[in-house]
């Protein structure tokens, strides 16, 4: 498991001087078939559970597989296929994974 | 994770089986949605299922009796499919209550079967830790093992059993593989007998005594499951090519919505083209049988009670079965094949705009058959506010009971003229318009609700797309049986009771030992009483009587109007009745009556189910009033304009 994980504590943001040099990537920005790793979920804690229960956890591998007819992403999460609203995909902070596409 | 513990396996029972006649052991069946749980439940219980009601709790337990090879029996309770044990959703709360032994009327489970889809092992096994903390004998069923093997995956279940400290079975329940081992487990449970009453530890997403941000807990569990998976030699399945290819069509930007539309149209075709003639047929058989039975009895109040009360009551329930069955068959196929999840995704964006969500699609569609099972199935909507909004607007969906009323009034008052060439006539256009009006009312109401009473943050919508699977006919048949039972028990009993009650109201006060003419009966007096109120809408006291009777169950108005006009065998197709109605209503009044039926909540069963699902009378009362006001206003407008 990778080590550099941040806690999704809702409105709290990591301090500016955390030293992270990568730009903030959101799942909504990721092109299809690109594998990424979940870094953080920017949602209030009472909205986290539907995601957590289905395996969307910091450290999991995400890969957008297609878009629904209305443009919302369909994502492969460690083998499960989940449909998310694009607003929610905008709350998922990710980083490019070294792993190759499935 | 809890270390290997004798309590979970059955090799060394820690207490002797009870010597005295003991209650039947109870086993709980738990698992995530789409894990094959229902299939296993059906395999084990077959037709020996019942849906039990518990007073004061908005819960129905799916119970079944399992008969073991030695003739002994035990009870199996099929808990809702859950992904976790938070208090967030109704399904998860219910599951917790049952597992912790706090569900009224159910003993604490003596054993638990946890079933998971092994192709999604790491995700689905997250339920394991809270289950193990119960400390009761546990069986882990790794279902869909055939799919895992076919896609190149593997797992060593003996190592897994050691790691977790429970019995583990590799299974493919649909084809029967592994079911025998489940029976073995159950036989052992039965032999040990029920556990002594024990207080079960709380089941939750957060382990006892630990207060951590939830993410931490989930991450830790996931890491543990991952580690266990590695030790057990878990090889994940390769991607499912078939589902992926099918999704590229069914979720395609253009083809996706087209197929979706096609499916919706198909479902409605099923109502009109197929169900209606069947309903007419059933109606005819019922009337003929009634007349035949009546010919054996002399004229008396008993004969009247039997034919016009009881028989008519049963008939008015049975006549809906064709439509209910056809519709639920379609919906069952869509659900079991996995397409329904895709339909929910396609519908979600539209529904989100009006304050609902994609998961509400199936319940609302079911409402076109009957609101009662539809409201119950709204439990799959996880967000509480979304669920309430869904329940509130479900009665606007044009249910089966409205059809006979529509058919009667349209046949009597709308001329049979073509509207759009030979394809669409004025009559079918009116019918479609009524359906559309109901749907529009639902949309607007949901929108308003979410802006006012149910205002709040938008809900999280995460929809799992299970792999496509061919529905098993046996599962479909059992589910159909189950849903029809819900309809018959809930709606059926009420409709029957109401029909008999109304019959009674037409029989009193007695005149010279005979039934009074209807206008002098209690019901008739009530009709006269409300006449001033309904005059502005175009209705007279006779229609008033019909309206009052229909407040309890919609379709009853057809029979009531028949009785008022002395029409024998009054059904929607009765020409005699249609002629008689023309004396009571003009076209404006008829349309007003139609509009009234589009909007008004005229179903005691719906009110009862709403009360159970919302745990108070506030919501049903609000809904009834809102819909009544809307109905009156709409009818007034229609009568005024036409």
Which residues of B are less than 8 Å from A58 in CB distance?
215, 219
pLDDT classification of A6: cutoffs 50, 70, 90 = very low
Which of A67-76, B421-430, B627-636 bottoms out in mean pLDDT, i.e. has the lowest? B421-430
Structural domain of B47: 6-231
The answer to whether residue B64 is domain-embedded is yes
Q: Identify the closest residue of chain A to B225 by CA–CA distance.
A: A55
Instruction: Let me know if residue A87 belongs to a domain.
Output: yes
Which DSSP string corresponds to B283-337? HHHHHHHHHHHHTTS-SSHHHHIIIIIIIHHHHHHHTTHHHHHHHHHHHHHHHHH
Of A30, A23, A20, A44, the residue nearest A74 (C-alpha):
A30
H or E segment and range at residue B481: helix B473-486
CA atoms within 13 A on the CB side of B58: 20
Q: Find the residue in A nearest to B227 (Cα).
A: A1
Task: Give me the pLDDT at residue B210, please.
Answer: 47
What is the mean pLDDT of the segment spanning B448-477? 85
pLDDT in tens, B223-259: 888 888 888 888 888 777 888 999 999 999 999 999 9
Predicted confidence at residue B23, as pLDDT, reads: 75
Domain count across chain B: 1
> In angstroms, what separates the C-alpha of A70 from chain B's closest C-alpha?
7
Q: Is residue B510 part of a domain?
A: no
Give the position of tokens 């009761």: B136
- How far are the Cα atoms of B21, B62, B189, B287 from residue B51, in angstroms, in the given order? 25, 5, 23, 32
> What's the CA gap between B344 and B327, in Å, rounded?
18
**Mutation target vs B (from A67, A83, A92; most B CBs, 10 A cutoff):** A83
Give me B330's structure tokens: 């379609």
| Position B589 in a domain | no
pLDDT on residue A37: 92
Calpha distance B326→B330 (Å, rounded): 6
Q: Provide, as residue numbers in chain B, all residues whose Cβ is less than 8 Å from the Cβ of A100.
A: none
Which carries the bigger pLDDT value, residue B416 or residue B593? Answer: B593
**Residue listed under structure tokens 């949309």:** B443
Which residue of B215, B352, B382 to mutate against A (max A Cβ within 10 Å)? Answer: B215
> Residue B44, by phi and psi: left (phi above 0), alpha (psi -120 to 50) or beta?
alpha
Residue A43 lies in a domain: yes
Cβ pair A57:B215 closer than 8 A: yes
Q: Domain for residue A5, yes or no?
A: no
With b meaning 16 or more CB within 10 Å and e meaning fewer, what string describes B124-142? bbbbbbbbbbbebbbbbbb
Q: What is the dihedral of CA B277, B280, B282, B287, to 10 degrees?
A: -160
B47 part of a folded domain? yes
Query: Do the domain assignments include residue A86?
Result: yes
The whole-number pLDDT of residue B590 equals 93
d(CA B150, CA B250): 24
CB B542 within 8 A of CB B590: no
Q: What is the dihedral of CA A58, A63, A67, A73, to 10 degrees?
A: 0
pLDDT of residue B616: 86
CA distance to partner chain A, nearest, from residue B114 (Å): 16
Query: Pick from B107, B138, B103: which is nearest to B30 by CA?
Result: B138
The pLDDT-based confidence of B6 (bands split at 50, 70, 90) is very low
- Residues of B with CB below 8 A from A81's CB? 243, 247, 464-465
Instruction: Supply B510's token pair.
Output: 């007695």
Domain with A88 in it: 23-96
Q: Which residue has the tokens 């951590």?
A: B212
- State yes or no: pLDDT of B515 exceeds 80: no
Nearest by CB: B120 against A53, A67, A80:
A80
Task: Give the per-residue pLDDT at B51.
Answer: 66
Average pLDDT, chain A: 77
List, in sequence order, the alpha helices (H) in B103-253. Answer: 121-124, 128-132, 145-150, 157-164, 179-192, 214-231, 241-250
Q: Is residue A1 part of a domain?
A: no
Tell whether B184 is covered by a domain.
yes
Does some domain include residue B11?
A: yes
- Please write the tens of the pLDDT for every residue from B291-326: 888 888 787 777 877 877 777 777 777 877 887 888
In chain A, the number of structural domains is: 1
CA distance B141 to B160: 11
pLDDT for position B571: 65
Among the partner-chain residues B236, B251, B464, the one whose CB lies closest to the CB of A82 is: B464
pLDDT band, residue A67 (cuts 50/70/90)? very high
Confidence of residue B269 (pLDDT cuts 50, 70, 90): confident
pLDDT in tens, B177-236: 999 999 999 999 988 878 776 655 666 665 554 444 577 788 888 888 888 888 888 888
Q: Which of A49, A62, A66 to mutate against chain B (most B CBs within 10 Å)?
A: A49
CA distance B572 to chain A (A): 42
Residue pair A101/A65 in contact (Cβ under 8 Å)? The answer is: no
For residue A79, which residues of chain B lie inside 8 Å, CB to CB?
A: 119-120, 122-123, 236-237
By Cβ distance, the residue of B86, B215, B465 closest to A7 is B215
Polymer length of chain A: 102
Residue B42 inside a domain? The answer is yes
User: Does residue B329 surpass a pLDDT of 70?
Assistant: yes
- Integer Cα distance of B258 and B260 in angstroms: 5
Please check whether residue A10 lies inside any domain of the structure: no
Å between A23 CA and nearest CA of chain B: 24
Asked if B486 and B372 count as a contact pair (C-beta separation under 8 A), the reply is: yes
Report, as an integer, the average pLDDT of B484-512.
79
Q: How high is the pLDDT of residue A100?
A: 52
Average confidence (pLDDT) over B153-173: 91
Shortest CA gap A14–chain B (Å) = 16
pLDDT computed for residue B255 by the predictor: 93
A57 inside domain: yes
Q: Select from B597, B184, B152, B620 the least CA-distant residue to B391.
A: B620
Across the A:B interface, residue pairs with CB atoms under 8 Å apart total 127
Which residue of B lies nearest to A66 if distances are taken between CA atoms?
Answer: B248
Question: Lowest-pLDDT range, A50-64, B42-56, B77-91, B145-159?
Answer: B42-56
**Strands B424-425 vs B418-420: parallel, antiparallel or unpaired:** antiparallel
Residues B430-454 have a mean pLDDT of: 91
Q: Scan residues 29-68 of A and list those with Cβ closer than 8 Å to B.
A: 41, 43-60, 65-68
Q: Check A51 against B460: CB less than 8 A apart.
A: yes
User: Does the distance separating the beta carbons of A56 and B349 come in below 8 Å?
Assistant: no
Predicted confidence band of residue B2 (pLDDT cuts 50, 70, 90): very low
A52 with B253: Cβ contact below 8 A: no
Share of chain B above pLDDT 70, in %: 91
Considering only CB atoms, which chain A residues are within 8 Å of B262? none
Provide CB contacts within 8 A for B262, sequence distance 6+.
none
- Mutate which: A12, A64, A79, vs B, most B CBs within 10 A: A79
How high does pLDDT run on average in chain B? 83
pLDDT at position B88 over 50: yes
Q: What is the CATH number of the domain that holds A76?
A: 2.30.30.90
First to last CA, chain A: 19
Please tell me the predicted confidence (pLDDT) of residue B416: 84
Which DSSP category does B228 fall into? Answer: H
Rounded mean pLDDT, B378-385: 84
pLDDT tens digits, one per residue of B519-572:
788 888 888 999 999 999 889 888 998 898 888 788 888 878 887 887 766 666
Res B119: pLDDT = 87
Q: How confident is the model at residue A18 (pLDDT cuts 50, 70, 90)?
A: very low
* Spatial distance between the Cα atoms of B579 and B577, rounded to a whole number of angstroms: 5
DSSP secondary structure letters along B492-545? IHHHHHHHHHHHHHHH-S-BTTBPPPGGGSHHHHHHHHHHHHHGGGT--HHHHH
- Closest CA in chain A for residue B381: A50
Render pLDDT for B578-611 as a digit per residue (tens, 0 to 9). Answer: 888 888 888 999 999 999 999 999 988 899 889 8
Residue A102 maps to a domain = no
CATH of the domain at B129: 3.40.50.300
Residue B345 has pLDDT above 90, yes or no: yes
The residue of chain A with its CA nearest to that of B217 is: A52
CA distance B292 to B320: 22
Q: Are the beta carbons of B218 and A53 separated by less than 8 Å?
A: yes
Judge: B462–A80 Cβ closer than 8 Å, yes or no: no
Å between A6 CA and nearest CA of chain B: 11
Residues from chain B contacting residue A76 (CB–CB below 8 Å): 239
For A102, the closest of B126, B239, B341 (CB atoms) is: B239
């Amino acid at each position: 498991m990778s080590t550099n994980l941040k806690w999704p504590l809702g409105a709290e943001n990591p301090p500016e001087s955390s030293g992270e040099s990568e730009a903030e990537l959101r799942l909504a920005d990721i092109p299809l078939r690109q594998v990424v790793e979940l870094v953080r979920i920017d949602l209030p804690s009472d909205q986290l559970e539907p995601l957590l229960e289905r395996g969307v956890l910091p450290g999991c591998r995400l890969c957008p597989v297609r878009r629904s007819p209305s443009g919302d992403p369909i994502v492969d999460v460690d083998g499960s296929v989940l449909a998310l609203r694009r607003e929610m995909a905008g709350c998922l902070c990710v980083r490019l994974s070294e792993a190759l596409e499935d | 994770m809890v270390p290997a513990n004798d309590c979970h396996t059955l090799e060394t029972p820690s207490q002797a089986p009870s010597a005295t006649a003991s209650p039947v052991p109870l086993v709980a069946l738990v698992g995530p949605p789409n894990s094959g749980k229902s299939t296993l439940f059906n395999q084990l219980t077959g037709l020996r299922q019942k849906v039990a009601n518990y007073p004061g709790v908005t819960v129905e337990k799916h119970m079944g009796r399992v008969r073991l090879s030695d003739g002994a029996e035990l009870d199996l309770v099929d808990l809702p499919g859950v992904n976790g044990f938070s208090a967030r959703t109704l399904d998860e709360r219910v599951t917790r209550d049952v597992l912790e032994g706090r569900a009224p009327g159910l003993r604490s489970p003596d054993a638990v079967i946890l079933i998971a889809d092994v192709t999604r092992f790491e995700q689905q096994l997250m339920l394991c830790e809270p289950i193990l903390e119960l400390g009761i004998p546990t069986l882990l069923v790794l279902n869909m093992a055939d799919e895992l093997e076919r896609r190149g995956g593997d797992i060593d279940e003996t190592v897994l059993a050691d790691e977790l400290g429970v019995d583990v079975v590799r299974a493919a329940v649909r084809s029967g593989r592994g079911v025998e081992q489940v029976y073995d487990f159950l036989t052992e449970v039965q032999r040990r007998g029920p556990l002594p009453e024990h207080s079960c530890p709380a089941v939750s997403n957060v382990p006892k005594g630990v207060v951590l941000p939830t993410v931490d807990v989930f991450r830790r569990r996931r890491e543990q499951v991952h580690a266990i998976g590695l030790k057990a030699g878990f090889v994940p399945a390769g991607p499912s090519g078939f589902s992926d290819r099918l999704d590229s069509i069914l979720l395609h930007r253009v083809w996706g919505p087209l197929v979706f539309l096609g499916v919706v149209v198909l479902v409605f075709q099923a109502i009109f083209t197929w169900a209606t003639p069947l309903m007419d047929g059933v109606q005819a058989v019922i009337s003929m049988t009634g007349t035949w039975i009546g010919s054996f009895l002399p004229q008396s109040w008993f004969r009247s009670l039997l034919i016009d009360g009881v028989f008519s009551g049963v008939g008015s329930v049975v006549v809906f079965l064709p439509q209910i069955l056809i519709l639920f068959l379609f919906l069952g196929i869509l659900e079991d094949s996995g397409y329904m999840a895709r339909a929910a995704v396609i519908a979600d964006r539209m529904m989100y705009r009006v304050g609902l969500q994609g998961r509400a699609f199936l319940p609302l569609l079911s409402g076109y058959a009957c609101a009662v099972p539809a409201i119950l199935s709204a439990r799959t909507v996880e967000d509480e506010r979304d669920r309430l909004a869904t329940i509130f607007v479900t009665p606007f969906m044009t249910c089966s009971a409205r059809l006979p009323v529509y058919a009667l009034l349209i046949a009597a008052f709308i001329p049979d003229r073509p509207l759009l060439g030979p394809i669409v006539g004025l009559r079918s256009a009116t019918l479609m318009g009524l359906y559309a009006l109901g749907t529009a009312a639902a949309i607007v109401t949901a929108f308003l609700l979410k802006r006012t009473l149910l205002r709040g943050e938008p809900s999280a919508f995460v929809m799992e797309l299970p792999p496509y699977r061919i529905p098993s006919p046996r599962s479909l048949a059992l589910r159909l049986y189950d849903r029809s039972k819900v309809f018959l028990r809930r709606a059926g009993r009420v409709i029957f009771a109401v029909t008999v009650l109304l019959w009674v109201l037409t029989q009193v006060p007695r005149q010279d030992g005979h039934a009074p003419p209807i206008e002098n009966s209690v019901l008739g007096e009530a009709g006269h009483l409300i006449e001033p109120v309904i005059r502005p809408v175009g209705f007279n006291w006779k229609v008033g009587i019909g309206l009052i009777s229909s407040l309890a169950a919609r379709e009853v108005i057809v029979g009531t109007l028949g009785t008022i006009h002395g029409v024998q065998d009054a059904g929607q197709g009765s020409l005699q009745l249609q002629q008689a109605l023309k004396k009571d209503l003009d076209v404006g009044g008829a349309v007003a009556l139609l509009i009234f039926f589009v909007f008004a909540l005229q179903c005691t069963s719906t009110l009862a189910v709403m009360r159970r699902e919302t745990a108070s009378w506030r919501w049903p009362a609000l809904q009834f009033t809102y819909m009544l006001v809307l109905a009156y206003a709409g009818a007034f407008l229609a009568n005024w304009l036409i």
